[in-house]
Homo-oligomer: A and B are copies of this chain.
Amino acid sequence: MKELVERIRQEGKNLGNGILKVDSFVNHQVDPALMNRCGQELARRFAHVGATKVLTAEISGIAPALLTALPLGLPVVYARKTKPITMPNQVYLTLAPSHTKGRMIELIISPEHLREGDRVLIIDDFLATGATILGLVRLAQTAGAVIVGIGTLIEKTFEGGRDLLATVGVPIESLAVITSMEAGQIVFAEA
């Protein structure tokens, strides 16, 4: 998606070690108009998969998932990383390694909101190692739901997430694809 690629070129910063700083429009400050167009584009690409629910992980997945779910007319569920007191004691929980935190994080979903028969479209901000998204896949499958697609704003192909997720056997779409961040550069795939 040309607009997102251009915005990353203008404002994204390569901090080294594969870390891309996009906190002026994606994950601290958010540009709602850009995020809305990204959500509409993801909704367009997944219009055919017959999803019944959009699933993401807090925190930075919430904005793109919400604005993908809105045009699709679907509810969105975000996996929590700590169990709120409003959640039942019996939950779906999995552990996933966090690339940026250097430790395992918990991903928790209430059985009230993910069920057998749900057809789940997973949306997140980044596709990097794929570990968080694979955690969401495990949670959904444990609940008896079927995964029907995986969409992200920004993919870093050099971290291998797409290969890890290939076993899920569903369409994977990313709106901006970065192939290398060597030597301070940010190199995008040809559109």
Please give the residue numbers on chain A whose beta carbons come within 8 Å of chain B beta carbons, in ascending order: 15, 19, 21-25, 27-33, 35-36, 58-59, 62-63, 66-67, 69-70, 73-78, 80, 84-87, 100, 109-110, 112-113
The answer for the CA separation of A27 and B74 in the assembled complex, in Å, is 15
A110 engages B28 (CB within 8 Å): yes
List of B residues within 8 angstroms of A100 by Cβ = 84-86
* Pair B86/A32 contact, Cβ less than 8 Å: no
- Report the bound CA distance from A6 to B15 in whole Å: 48
A74 to B22, CA, bound (A): 17
Q: Please name all residues of chain B whose beta carbon is closer than 8 Å to the beta carbon of A84 when the two chains form the complex.
A: 23, 27-28, 100
CB-nearest residue of chain B to A21: B86
Query: How far does the Cβ of A107 sit from chain B's closest Cβ, in whole Å?
Result: 12
Known contacts A75-B30, A80-B28; decide if A66 and B63 are in contact (CB<8 Å). Answer: yes
Top 10 closest A-B pairs, CB basis? A32-B70, A21-B86, A29-B113, A32-B69, A29-B77, A62-B62, A58-B59, A30-B76, A23-B86, A29-B75
- A23 and B113 CA atoms in complex are apart in Å by 9
Q: For the complex formed, measure the closest distance between the CB of A85 and the CB atoms of chain B, giving whole angstroms.
A: 6
Partner of A86, one of B19, B33, B77: B19
Query: Which single residue of chain B is at the shortest CB-CB distance from A26?
Result: B86
How far is B82's CA from A59's CA once the two chains are assembled, in angstroms? 11
What is the bound-complex CA distance between A32 and B56, given in angstroms?
A: 14
Select the residue from A33, A84, A113 with max chain B CB neighbours within 10 A.
A84
Write the nearest CB–CB distance from A42 to chain B, whole angstroms.
Answer: 13
Interchain nearest-CB distance for A144 vs B (Å)? 17
- 7 interchain pairs (CB within 8 A)? A27-B86, A28-B86, A28-B110, A29-B113, A30-B77, A58-B59, A66-B66
